[in-house]
Amino acid sequence: MSDDLQPLAPDEGVERFLRHREPSVRKSTLQNARTRLSAFLDWCEDREIENLNELSGRDLSDFVAWRRSDVAAITLQKQLSTIRVALRFWADIEGVEDGLAEKVHAPELPDGAESRDVHLDASRAEAILSYLDRYQFASRRHAVMTLLWNTGMRRSALISLDVDDMRPDEQALVLEHRIEQGTKLKNGEAGNRWVYLGPEAYQIVDEYVAENRHNVTDEYGREPLITSKNGRPSGSSIYNWVHRATHPCEYGECPHDRDPVDCEAVGSENTPSKCPSSRSPHAVRRGAITEHLNDDVPPETVSERMDVSLEVLYQHYDARTAREKMEVRKKHLE
């Protein structure tokens, strides 16, 4: 615990945070924040935490595990979003360590937990990839967005990939569940599969590995395909990279009339997900699945390629409009 911190009781911290927020948010938003933070206060009382100065990343991990047993994953994500904002405020008033908010890691959402209306539109994906192809070719961002959009794979699948999983002769990748070596696929060994990239996408990934990948190994001696400076990236790192890559101001003009100089979503110290137009890896996956279906790829093929059942695919991932579905059917009726 830093000597620079000033003692702050949990209930006082919550009240200070709510007073700070009150002038700038709607009444309903403030009430939602109060409700979400009440669970945090219950946990503090249960753990006999009387001073927020004492909070650590491990404590917050324990809180996430404690709360996960009571609420749905998407509800937990909303609650943790409020807690992150509160932690940043408490850091500003010297109540908790700086950077503690970034140690709150939400669990990955299950299939279909978000609205299927929240997806990366194909036209935006094409604009992003076109920009990256021209100005940031074979960068990490280019490789990440190419893989997520081309294959629709989950964030956990992307993290699990090694350099040795590349198959140049087939222009493909091998996805494998290796939980005993620190990585996993959502559906376990049932998710093991080969994924075809094609010549253009494979070239981007191949050149990323040759020119821009950090030469690092993980604790098991494996060489991650996508890397941070320290090794295999965390889920939160992928989350932030994708949100930042999908900022409209990264490849065009801001549609929200914001100035990048003081935008809360821009800059290394800010929060990429606060851009209203940014999209999560899950939303990119949903957009990729939708675009495959619009391209008349058989649903059974999409199901196998993206490792999702047909039932879940239709119920939660198919974001096509009624007209788009008709256009696909017309190709067969003609």
CA–CA dist 84, 126 (Å, integer)? 32
In a domain, 38, yes or no: yes
The average pLDDT across 96-103 equals 91
In a domain, 173, yes or no: no
Same domain, 317 and 214: yes
Q: Which residue has the higher pLDDT, 70 or 47?
A: 47
In a domain, 253, yes or no: yes
Q: Is the dihedral of CA 114, 285, 256, 99 positive or negative?
A: positive
Same domain, 116 and 218: yes
In a domain, 2, yes or no: no
The average pLDDT across 190-214 equals 97
Q: What is the pLDDT of residue 170?
A: 96
The average pLDDT across 82-105 equals 92
Structural domain total, the chain? 2
The model carries a pTM of 0.67
pLDDT at 109 over 70: no
Same domain, 233 and 94: no
Residue 290's pLDDT band, with cuts at 50, 70 and 90, is: very high
Same domain, 89 and 117: no
> Residue 20 maps to which CATH number?
1.10.150.130
Kindly give, in sequence order, each residue whose CB lies less than 8 Å from that of residue 49, ignoring residues fewer than 6 positions away. Answer: 10, 43, 55, 59
In a domain, 40, yes or no: yes
In a domain, 203, yes or no: yes
Which H or E run includes 194? strand 193-196
Same domain, 82 and 135: no
Same domain, 279 and 327: yes
The average pLDDT across 135-151 equals 97
Residue 110's pLDDT band, with cuts at 50, 70 and 90, is: low
Kindly give, in sequence order, each residue whose CB lies less than 8 Å from that of residue 314, ignoring residues fewer than 6 positions away. Answer: 299
Rounded mean pLDDT of the chain? 89
Residue 269's pLDDT band, with cuts at 50, 70 and 90, is: low
Strand partners, 196: 172
Q: What is the pLDDT of residue 274?
A: 81
Q: What is the pLDDT of residue 76?
A: 83
Structural domain that includes position 226 = 112-161+197-334
pLDDT at 116 over 60: no
> Residue 206 maps to which CATH number?
1.10.443
Do 290 and 325 form a contact (C-beta atoms < 8 A)?
A: no
271 DSSP 8-state letter: -
What b/e string do you get for 276-306 counting C-beta neighbours within 10 Å, with b at 16 or more? eebbbbbbbbbbbbbbbbbeeeeeeebbebb
Do 278 and 272 form a contact (C-beta atoms < 8 A)?
A: yes
